[in-house]
Every structure is written in structure tokens, then in C-alpha cells.
Structure 1
């Protein structure tokens, strides 16, 4: 068990396919009914799968840096899997 409980997930889908974008939705999660984290991105991979990018910001040097990172691999996997599951079920 990762020690975190995702108590709420909100998905904000949008269509960027017309401009060649790969981001399919933004997401936010609430952890343990106490912490809201915004800025997750649901991205379509080149192979057609789904990937969840953690919140990040582009630095002055042009490199992207995570603003939120899961230290525990199980927590990271749990967050990504739950967001993808919620995205797939959105509007179903």
C-alpha cells in the first residue's frame, strides 16, 4: 500500500488534435481529503497509449521541472493508474 488515499479525482478533457496536441485532459486529485494537487496531464503516447504527466513548470533554461513528485514508486503508480481509470470512465 502506498500510504496515500486518493479521495477525489476531477478530469478536465479537451481536444487539441486539430492543432497536433497530444494532451487529452488535465486532472486534479485530492489526497486524504486534505491536499489538492492540480496540473496533472493525460497525454496520448506515440503508440496510442495513455500517460499521466505530473505537474511541472518550464524553467528559464527551457527544461521542465516537476513541481510535485511521488517519492514512493507505488504512490506514483497508484496516482497514474487512478487518473487514467477516471479519464477512461469520464462521461461513460
Structure 2
């Protein structure tokens, strides 16, 4: 699966969200709003989400297979680590 990070915006500060990323899948489909988050076990990639009327957060997009999730996570974290500046 070909996944490309089209935009990476890093945040300054001590909050858990370190960056936002947009991706392009197979050169044909863009998904905006992935988050690079610092958690208890290190960095992870959070899916785009919207808050429902009930106040809970719901993913707007997610990987269906473990292979797709691993590819997406690896691509976004690599771009985050390689991106020295905004």
C-alpha cells in the first residue's frame, strides 16, 4: 500500500498532541487530520475524529486491517521524525 504524508504540522508546547498530518493513499485518496500523540508507551498515530452530540469522540477514518494500520503508523511517524521544522 502506497501511503504518503502530504502535510505535517508540528505543535510547540508540552501537550500530548505533537503534530497533525494529512496523508494520500495510493496517490488517489486524501485523508486529513491524523494526530501524532505522545502517550504512556511513546508516540502513536490517532485517527481523525469528530465529537458527537453526546460529547464522545468518534473516528472519521480508520484502517481496516492490521497491515494497513502498521503501514500508516510507520509512514506518519517516520515523516514526523524526519521533519525537522514546520
TM-score (norm 2): 0.89
Q: Unaligned stretches of 5+ in structure 2?
A: none
Residue 86 (str. 1) matches residue 79 (str. 2): yes
Aligned pairs, number: 84
Report SS of the residue matched to 2:12: coil
2:53 match: 60
Q: TM-score, normalised by structure 1?
A: 0.84
Q: Please state how far the C-alpha of 1:16 moved relative to its aligned partner.
A: 3.4
- Equivalence for 2:30: 36
1:43 alignment partner, SS class = strand
Candidates 3, 8, 13, aligned match of 1:16: 13
Please tell me the root mean square deviation across aligned C-alpha atoms, in Å: 1.4
Partner Cα distance (1:16, 1:40) in 2: 18
SS at match of 1:88: helix
SS at 2:76's partner residue? Answer: helix
